[in-house]
Amino acid sequence: MRMIILIGGIMVELKTFNRLREGRKGQLICFPYLGGYVYSFYDMVRAMKEDIEIWVANPPGHFGSELGLISDIDELISVYHKDISKIIQPGSVFFGHSMGGIVSYFLLERMIRNQDEIRPRKLILSASAAPSSFEKKQYSKLSDEDLIKQIQVYGGMPDAVLNDHELMDIMIPIFRADYGILETSAKASYNKIDIETHLLWGENDKAETISYAKMWRNYLVQDFNFISIRNAEHMFIHHKLEEVITYIYRFMDLDSMKVKEM
């Protein structure tokens, strides 16, 4: 899915980010979870007030992308970094759920290392284990059957999808490539970044342990603000939507805004 936008009177084509909403009270740039794509955030965007500009990363090789799959974190960040400067606004906030948290971190780290003029002012990690938690994992090399079992640990995938063999034939290479990104992120070089960071975590998360969340301290100069969401599993971005949005508003200094009635 290509997107054509007008920047400074010039038409610019984007292959890696899609704007789902225009707004004037802040900019939120979202990064999807493993196997996700632009419209994985559709329900969240619908429930948020219109005054927030919302962009979502369009992972290469996922639904809606014309690019090929990528299985290496450095290569993925290079692709995103080419386009981020075309869309980012001063005061922007990065939000990444699960795998998206790791991707957003490494993109931000690249922007800081390259001394990009405009960078996000805050980072929101949601259900995201630190990259080093994948150091000894080799999920990308699992058989198709075992890979599907691993995906089921995260929850949120309907049986109708799992039982659709044609759809799973499309999804399995995507899952495999995404796990490759996570596994290479554990070995990627980085410098600790100095940014205000908030970490949302489901107290009933069965996919990742809280010890993996604490490992983020090895990647950040400042300690992060840890928020535990009650009765929430790993994919709480879908079943605890109102709470997630409330925290996003708070972290974006928009406490007065309320979640829309759907």
Q: How confident is the model over 41-95, as pLDDT tens digits?
A: 999 999 997 789 999 999 999 998 989 999 999 999 999 999 999 999 999 999 9
Q: Which residues of 4-22 are buried (b: 16+ CB within 10 A; e: fewer)?
A: eeeeeeeeeebbbbbbbbe
Rounded-to-integer distance, Cα 78 and Cα 60, Å: 12
Write down the pTM of the prediction: 0.92
Percent over 90 (pLDDT), the chain: 82
Q: Are 174 and 61 in contact (CB under 8 A)?
A: yes
Q: Report pLDDT for 155.
A: 84
- Indicate the residue type of 16: T
Q: Report pLDDT for 259.
A: 54
Q: Are 90 and 53 in contact (CB under 8 A)?
A: no
- Indicate the residue type of 176: R
Mean pLDDT across 165-184: 96
Q: Which residue has the tokens 């090929």?
A: 68
Contacting residues for 28 by C-beta, under 8 A, at least 6 apart: 52, 53, 54, 55, 92, 93, 95, 248, 252
- For residue 141, give both structure tokens: 């090399």
Q: Are 207 and 155 in contact (CB under 8 A)?
A: yes
Sketch out the chain's domains with CATH numbers. 3-251 (3.40.50.1820)
pLDDT tens digits along 208-247: 999 999 999 999 999 999 999 999 999 999 999 999 999 9
How many CB atoms within 10 Å of residue 161?
Answer: 12
pLDDT tens digits along 28-37: 999 999 999 9
Q: Which residue has the tokens 């009650």?
A: 230
